[in-house]
Amino acid sequence: MEPGYRGLGRCACCFWLAVAFDVVGLLVLLAGVFVSVFFYDLLIYAGAIVIFLSLIWWVFWYSGNIEVPPAELEDDVGLLKKQQRGLSGAVRRLSSRVSSGIRTSLRRNGASRTERAAGGGPPQQVAVSMATMTPQGDTPHGAVPAAAGCDVEMPRTTTESSPT
């Protein structure tokens, strides 16, 4: 015989926590509204947050009291009933084989498609040559004149970067 749950159901603790959060949140909120203190806005926000957190306990209480007959649970965990071993059992097995085949095919081919979309193998490196250029001929009026004997030439450098 199943135990008879009356009144609050199986999760009485969650129910009383939800009620306590609601009462405390409401008292704090009302204190922020009606009491003349300089931190009234803190009380209003804190009360609203505590009332919002009470929703967690209400959801726990409600979901803990949902009753599902064992006959319905048996089908959800993959146990086939004796009456369904005929045509419906065969359809269920065929459906699970097709869906698992598609799932494994997508997992197996997912990496190769990604590599093809990226343009093949690993990214190639590109060498870029940099050199310092000295002006030839006339210089514009706004240019800074070169100091006497300060012709310094920079060595050629190479920088590698990947194409983007």
pLDDT value, residue 144: 53
* DSSP letters for 89-145: HHHHHHHHHHHHHHHHHHHHHHHHHHHHHTTSSSPPPEEEEE------SPPPTTSPP
More confident residue, 97 or 128: 97
pLDDT value, residue 7: 78
pLDDT value, residue 153: 67
Domain ranges of the chain: 12-67, 71-81+89-108
Per-residue pLDDT of 97-121, as tens digits, reads 888 888 788 777 765 555 555 555 5
Is the pLDDT reported for residue 30 higher than 80?
yes
Burial 93-103 (b: 16+ CB within 10 A, else e): eeeeeeeeeee
**Token code pair at residue 131:** 């050199």
Q: In the structure, what pLDDT confidence band is assigned to residue 49 with cuts at 50, 70 and 90?
A: very high
